[in-house]
């Protein structure tokens, strides 16, 4: 014990002295605060301490997640099979059930390659920053700063928006249930917005006062994730009408008015992709995981395999039991899956219970997303990448959580829910904005690690390695991402008017312009790419 404490203080000193010469702003974050507030038992294994020392970071969060609780965290953070139900409207507009089935298989294979690439990097540098940290380590030297800065922003935008989208789903699903149960209710878009904001408020409590209970809650939610899945799969197969295989798997539809079925299918891929994005959530918790350099990659790939399997069964179930697709798409509740449940069960109570399971799971998902999104913002602010970095990188000492970052995350999601008031396709715009920003950040990261793999020097040591398959997996992942990044920003239907336009690329462009302005004025000096602190050779 005494020995390890001794080592610890030596590591601290090493970390402290490293960043100083000629670059004062990088120390704004943590080193000034002196002694760590984190108790020894929450500081992880010796491998964790070594990793933190190599990365030049101080342990300020508690390492209280293990493989199983992390699997639970990741599963709720993605809300995979629950998500595919909520995004059903996208495929019913473009592609139909065959796209849901084949598109999901294709995207699942592609994204597995992407996450394998990411898991390997997570084993090299298990840091809450994730993508932008890896970019800064592996990009060509001259471009390290700029590329990692932008990937930090892209990841931040992706997570912030994803969190907003989940709060939005919860709010509007509650509204959908009201529509179902009360025929006199008059649907107003701003009601959905207010309900989304209430979800945001709900998330505050679980990310502040109950934060230390988060791992336990994740474990319980994991059980509901599985039990709820059985409840819905069994109900649909037993009670819903059955489609024949030809209709379910081969009759592609094109209800978006696009010139070809192929184009329509590419655009509809947003639905299967939406539940295959965000498995980097565990990465942003890496400084809260025990033995992160091996637990983390395992948790990433474990959550990918488990959730792809769960979604695949739901997808197959839906293809055969959805009933009349046009009528599902036109559901007054706003959510085709609620209509499908109602037609299958013929009971308001039954439908409400099944839908409530989805709502609870998505609310749990929102809680996890706030956690992941705030950690990412916090980590990026710690390196000076965001306006207000000094404030944003603060950790509240009593709770060991990044309170300012949590607050900003909640504000952003409340603001984004306002989009719903003026747009009929808010969910589409938010989902694709989150998807594109995150996919570009994956792309940049994998491109950089590929560059390093080819040009050398050799990649850092890792306990979870792709071995000689690394090169081909990285290349295949990149080739898969290119068309998706392009098509996911398209609107679902044509002709396009202001009200049904997918404004995601405009919003992304706008955010990146803000990022650029900040970079030119302050960021150039305040942002210190994490690689500066990394000491691989010591
Ligand atoms: C639900 O049932 C109604 C009435 O039988 C029918 O008109 C509609 O097409 C069905 N919808 C779905 C999604 O199966």
pLDDT of residue 256: 87
Q: For ligand 1, is residue 327 a contact (CB within 6 Å)?
A: yes
pLDDT over 80 (residue 124): yes
Tell me the range of 3-7, 29-33, 449-453, 495-499 where mean pLDDT is highest. Answer: 449-453
More confident residue, 503 or 335: 335
Residue nearest to atom 13 of ligand 1 (CA): 328
User: Three-state SS for 497?
Assistant: coil
CA gap 292, 122 in Å, rounded: 8
Residue nearest to atom 8 of ligand 1 (CA): 327
Q: To test the ligand 1 pocket, which listed residue (324, 326, 332, 338) has its Cβ within 8 A of the most ligand atoms?
A: 324
Q: Where are the beta strands (DSSP E) in 394-538?
A: none
The alpha carbon of 48 and the centre of ligand 1 are apart by a number of angstroms equal to 56
Write the pLDDT tens digit of every residue in 434-461: 999 999 999 999 999 999 999 988 899 9
Q: What confidence tier does 323 reach under pLDDT thresholds 50, 70, 90? A: very high
Q: For ligand 1, is residue 161 a contact (CB within 6 Å)?
A: no
Q: What confidence tier does 294 reach under pLDDT thresholds 50, 70, 90? A: very high
The alpha carbon of 324 and the centre of ligand 1 are apart by a number of angstroms equal to 6
Q: pTM here? A: 0.87
pLDDT of residue 372: 83
The alpha carbon of 488 and the centre of ligand 1 are apart by a number of angstroms equal to 30
| 254 beta partners | 94
Cα dihedral 355, 356, 357, 361 sign: positive
Percent of the chain residues topping a pLDDT of 70: 93
The alpha carbon of 169 and the centre of ligand 1 are apart by a number of angstroms equal to 24
pLDDT of residue 277: 92
Write the pLDDT tens digit of every residue in 459-470: 999 999 999 999
Write the pLDDT tens digit of every residue in 43-67: 888 899 988 988 888 888 889 889 9
Mean model confidence pLDDT for the chain? 87
pLDDT over 80 (residue 334): yes
Q: To test the ligand 1 pocket, which listed residue (318, 327, 328) has its Cβ within 8 A of the most ligand atoms?
A: 327
pLDDT over 50 (residue 21): no
The alpha carbon of 351 and the centre of ligand 1 are apart by a number of angstroms equal to 14
Write the pLDDT tens digit of every residue in 371-411: 888 888 988 998 899 998 889 988 877 777 788 998 898 89
Q: For ligand 1, is residue 328 a contact (CB within 6 Å)?
A: yes
pLDDT over 70 (residue 27): no
Q: For ligand 1, is residue 511 a contact (CB within 6 Å)?
A: no
Q: What confidence tier does 330 reach under pLDDT thresholds 50, 70, 90? A: very high
Residue nearest to atom 14 of ligand 1 (CA): 323
Residue nearest to atom 1 of ligand 1 (CA): 343
From residue 530, give the alpha-carbon distance in Å to each of 154, 375, 382, 514. Answer: 16, 15, 9, 22
pLDDT of residue 537: 66
Compute the radius of gyration of the chain from its Cα atoms.
23
Closest CA to 470 of 485, 451, 457, 484: 451
Omega prior to 495 cis, within 30 of 0:
yes
Q: Which helix (H) or strand (E) holds 247?
A: helix 245-250
The alpha carbon of 80 and the centre of ligand 1 are apart by a number of angstroms equal to 26
User: Three-state SS for 57?
Assistant: coil
Q: To test the ligand 1 pocket, which listed residue (85, 89, 241, 343) has its Cβ within 8 A of the most ligand atoms?
A: 343
Q: What confidence tier does 13 reach under pLDDT thresholds 50, 70, 90? A: very low
User: What does the pLDDT average to over 521-534?
Assistant: 89
Write the pLDDT tens digit of every residue in 184-224: 999 999 999 999 999 988 887 777 777 777 777 777 788 88
342 CA: nearest ligand 1 atom: 1
pLDDT of residue 33: 41
Write the pLDDT tens digit of every residue in 471-480: 999 999 999 9
pLDDT of residue 3: 34
Q: To test the ligand 1 pocket, which listed residue (323, 325, 334, 347) has its Cβ within 8 A of the most ligand atoms?
A: 323
The alpha carbon of 230 and the centre of ligand 1 are apart by a number of angstroms equal to 24
Tell me the range of 331-345, 380-394, 423-437 where mean pLDDT is highest. Answer: 331-345
More confident residue, 385 or 16: 385
User: What does the pLDDT average to over 344-370?
Assistant: 92
User: What does the pLDDT average to over 331-353?
Assistant: 95
pLDDT over 90 (residue 117): yes
Query: Angle CA(193)–CA(197)–CA(200) in degrees, nearest 5?
Result: 145
Q: Which helix (H) or strand (E) holds 254?
A: strand 253-254
pLDDT over 70 (residue 174): yes
Residue nearest to atom 5 of ligand 1 (CA): 343
343 CA: nearest ligand 1 atom: 1
Cα dihedral 247, 252, 256, 257 sign: negative
Residue nearest to atom 7 of ligand 1 (CA): 327
Q: For ligand 1, is residue 324 a contact (CB within 6 Å)?
A: yes
Residues 6+ apart with CB under 8 A from 193: 171, 417, 418, 420, 421
The alpha carbon of 343 and the centre of ligand 1 are apart by a number of angstroms equal to 6
The alpha carbon of 467 and the centre of ligand 1 are apart by a number of angstroms equal to 52
Question: Which ranges of 125-213 does DSSP label H, i.e. alpha helix?
Answer: 131-138, 144-181, 189-207
187 close to 332: Cβ distance less than 8 angstroms: yes
Q: For ligand 1, is residue 318 a contact (CB within 6 Å)?
A: no
CA gap 121, 128 in Å, rounded: 12
Q: For ligand 1, is residue 323 a contact (CB within 6 Å)?
A: yes
Q: Which domains does the chain have, with CATH numbers?
A: 55-461+483-533 (1.20.1740.10)
pLDDT over 60 (residue 2): no
Q: For ligand 1, is residue 33 a contact (CB within 6 Å)?
A: no
Write the pLDDT tens digit of every residue in 86-101: 999 999 999 999 999 9
CA gap 323, 317 in Å, rounded: 11
Q: For ligand 1, is residue 167 a contact (CB within 6 Å)?
A: no
Query: Angle CA(500)–CA(502)–CA(505) in degrees, nearest 5?
Result: 155
241 CA: nearest ligand 1 atom: 14
CA gap 378, 361 in Å, rounded: 26
328 CA: nearest ligand 1 atom: 13
The alpha carbon of 319 and the centre of ligand 1 are apart by a number of angstroms equal to 15
pLDDT of residue 36: 61
User: What does the pLDDT average to over 506-525?
Assistant: 92
pLDDT of residue 31: 40
């Amino acid at each position: 014990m005494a020995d390890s404490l001794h080592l610890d203080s030596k590591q601290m000193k090493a970390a402290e002295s490293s960043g100083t010469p000629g670059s004062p702003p990088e120390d704004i974050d943590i080193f000034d605060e002196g002694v760590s507030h984190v108790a020894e038992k929450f500081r992880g294994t010796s491998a964790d301490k070594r990793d933190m020392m190599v990365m030049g970071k101080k342990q300020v969060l508690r390492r209280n997640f293990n493989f199983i609780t992390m699997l639970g965290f990741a599963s709720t953070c993605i809300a995979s099979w629950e998500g595919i139900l909520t995004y059903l409207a996208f495929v019913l507009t473009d592609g139909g059930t065959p796209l849901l089935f084949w598109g999901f298989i294709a995207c699942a294979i592609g994204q597995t390659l992407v996450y394998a690439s990411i898991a390997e990097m997570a084993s090299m540098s298990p840091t809450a920053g994730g993508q932008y940290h890896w970019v800064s380590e592996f990009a060509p030297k001259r471009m390290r700063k700029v590329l990692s800065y932008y990937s930090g922003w892209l990841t931040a935008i992706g997570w912030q928006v994803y969190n907003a989208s989940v709060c939005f789903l919860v709010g509007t699903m509650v509204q959908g249930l009201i529509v179902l149960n009360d025929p006199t209710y008059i649907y107003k878009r701003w009601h959905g917005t207010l309900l989304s904001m209430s979800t945001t408020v709900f998330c505050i409590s679980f990310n502040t006062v109950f934060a230390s209970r988060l791992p336990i809650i994740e474990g319980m939610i994991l059980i509901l994730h599985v039990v709820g899945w059985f409840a819905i799969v069994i109900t649909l197969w037993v009670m819903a009408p059955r489609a024949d295989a030809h209709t379910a798997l081969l009759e592609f539809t094109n209800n978006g008015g696009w010139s070809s079925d192929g184009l329509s299918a590419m655009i509809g891929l947003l639905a299967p992709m939406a539940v295959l994005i965000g498995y980097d959530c565990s990465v942003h918790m890496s400084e809260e995981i025990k033995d992160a350099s091996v637990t983390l990659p395992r948790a990433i790939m474990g959550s990918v395999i488990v959730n792809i399997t769960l979604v695949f069964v739901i997808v197959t179930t839906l293809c055969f039991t959805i009933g009349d697709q046009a009528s599902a798409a036109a559901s007054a509740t706003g959510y085709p899956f609620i209509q499908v449940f109602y037609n299958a069960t013929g009971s308001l109570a039954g439908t409400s219970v099944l839908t409530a399971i989805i709502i609870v799971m998505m609310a749990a998902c929102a809680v996890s997303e706030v956690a992941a999104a705030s950690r990412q913002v916090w980590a990026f602010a710690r390196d000076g990448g965001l306006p207000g970095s000094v404030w944003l990188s603060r950790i509240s000492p009593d709770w060991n959580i990044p309170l300012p970052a949590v607050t900003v995350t909640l504000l952003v999601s409340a603001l984004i829910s306002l989009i719903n008031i003026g747009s009929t396709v808010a969910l589409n715009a938010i989902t694709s904005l989150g998807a594109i920003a995150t996919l570009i950040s994956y792309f940049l990261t994998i491109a950089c690690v590929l560059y390093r793999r080819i040009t050398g020097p050799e990649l850092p040591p890792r306990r979870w390695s792709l071995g000689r398959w690394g090169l081909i997996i990285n290349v295949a992942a990149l080739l898969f991402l290119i068309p998706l990044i392009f098509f996911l920003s398209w609107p679902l239907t044509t002709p396009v008017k202001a009200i049904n336009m997918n404004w995601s690329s405009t919003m992304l462009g706008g955010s990146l312009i803000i990022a650029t302005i900040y970079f030119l004025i302050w960021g150039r000096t305040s942002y210190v790419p994490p690689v500066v602190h990394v000491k691989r050779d010591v």
